[in-house]
């Protein structure tokens, strides 16, 4: 099996996951969780990485990490090796603690930081460990709700700034944003993943392609060839308007009920561009950003139920890709 491809560059942003070998526990006590957090602080200081969010589960962990100096490999090697050594000494064991190498997904931070932070913080709820994210002590969520519980090495500012310039208002909005994720109508950010390793839109993918071109061609590169072509916002709006035989202005209007073309356009813009929820909401009549996620979900579900509508979506997408 080919080793996972690692792309490093200055300012890269990643979603990282590492699981215990054979899905066994990597945290057995409160002391284990605390030691791992100390090691996160150490790599933050040693490698100048930015840690935006984390959650430590019994047999795996998630990180949202940014590398201003393009040093992901050394950072994660230090973190995982140091924790494995600690764990093996404490529990008198030998061998690998983690199942293979960590998984890294390189992400367009500007478009997906907010959504991914919610995904990370809802992990304990989805696993049935707690009812609400704030009940779980081993994630960064509590730090997003109060500066009093935020360690100095955790970067919460960028996520909160996407919701409000006022920090107190931003924290309240973030709490509501995460709670909305429990309603089942939120978009799964990993549905936008390309080739199992990239989440981002057209401009971001062009940047990643440049990184790929600097890597020697080998058996790992086929992932690059699966990166599908992305399109700009105007092309999507024009194609949708033409398909439904309406002016482009109708497609972007905010009205109740929304025109069918508007719902389809919202879906395609979210799916095929690197715009975040707030940017998309501005284009479509400054509606609330959650309306974008709801529209995406509804169109996706209708496409599964309604074969005729599914064919319409396919026809529009083929025209966009042509």
The CATH number given to whatever domain includes residue 46 is 3.30.70.1290
In a domain, 94, yes or no: yes
pLDDT at 218: 45
d(Cα 174, Cα 166) in Å, to the nearest integer? 12
Q: What is the CB neighbour count within 10 angstroms for residue 78?
A: 16
The residue with greater pLDDT, 79 or 221, is 79
pLDDT at 185: 60
Q: What DSSP designation does 194 have?
A: E
pLDDT at 3: 54
Q: Is 209 helix (H, G, I), strand (E, B) or coil?
A: helix
Do residue 186 and residue 236 come from a single domain? no
Which of 199, 217, 251 finishes a domain?
199
Do residue 177 and residue 57 come from a single domain? yes
Would you tell me the crossing angle of helices 307-321 and 289-305 to the nearest 10 degrees?
A: 120
Residues 6+ apart with CB under 8 A from 254: 284, 285, 286, 287
Contact 206, 214 (CB under 8 A): no
Would you tell me the crossing angle of helices 30-47 and 72-90 to the nearest 10 degrees?
A: 150
Q: What is the CB neighbour count within 10 angstroms for residue 118?
A: 21
Q: What DSSP designation does 253 have?
A: -
Do residue 190 and residue 238 come from a single domain? no
Do residue 101 and residue 147 come from a single domain? yes
Rounded to two decimals, the pTM is 0.68
For residue 187, the enclosing domain spans 12-199
Q: How many domains does the chain have?
A: 2
Element (H, E) at 252: helix 248-252
């Amino acid at each position: 099996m080919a080793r996972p491809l690692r792309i490093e560059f200055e300012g890269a942003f990643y979603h990282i996951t590492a699981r215990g070998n054979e899905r066994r526990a990597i945290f057995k006590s409160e002391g284990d969780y605390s030691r791992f957090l100390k090691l996160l602080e150490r790599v933050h200081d040693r490698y100048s990485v930015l840690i935006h969010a984390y959650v430590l589960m019994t047999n795996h962990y998630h990180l949202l990490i940014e590398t201003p100096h393009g040093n992901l490999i050394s950072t994660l090697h230090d973190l995982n090796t140091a924790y494995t050594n600690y764990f093996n000494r404490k529990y008198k064991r030998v061998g690998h603690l983690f199942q293979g190498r960590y998984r890294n997904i390189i992400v367009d931070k500007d478009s997906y930081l907010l959504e991914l932070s919610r995904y990370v913080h809802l992990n304990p709820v989805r696993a049935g460990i707690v009812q609400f994210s704030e009940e779980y002590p081993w994630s960064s969520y509590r730090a997003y709700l109060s500066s009093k519980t935020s360690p100095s090495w955790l970067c919460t500012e960028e996520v909160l700034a996407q919701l409000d310039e006022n920090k107190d208002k931003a924290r309240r909005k973030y709490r509501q944003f995460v709670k909305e994720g429990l309603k089942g109508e939120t978009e799964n950010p990993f549905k936008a993943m390309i080739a199992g390793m990239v989440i981002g839109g057209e401009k971001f993918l062009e940047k990643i392609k440049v990184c790929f071109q600097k890597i020697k061609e080998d058996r790992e590169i086929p992932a690059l060839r699966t990166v599908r072509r992305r399109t700009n916002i105007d092309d999507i709006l024009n194609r949708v308007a033409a398909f439904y035989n309406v002016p482009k202005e109708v497609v972007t209007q905010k009205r109740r009920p929304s025109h069918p073309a508007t719902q389809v356009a919202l879906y395609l813009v979210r799916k095929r561009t690197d715009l975040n929820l707030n940017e998309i909401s501005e284009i479509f009549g400054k509606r609330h950003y959650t309306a974008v996620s709801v529209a995406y979900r509804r169109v996706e579900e209708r496409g599964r139920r309604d074969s005729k509508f599914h064919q319409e979506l396919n026809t529009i997408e083929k025209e966009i890709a042509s």
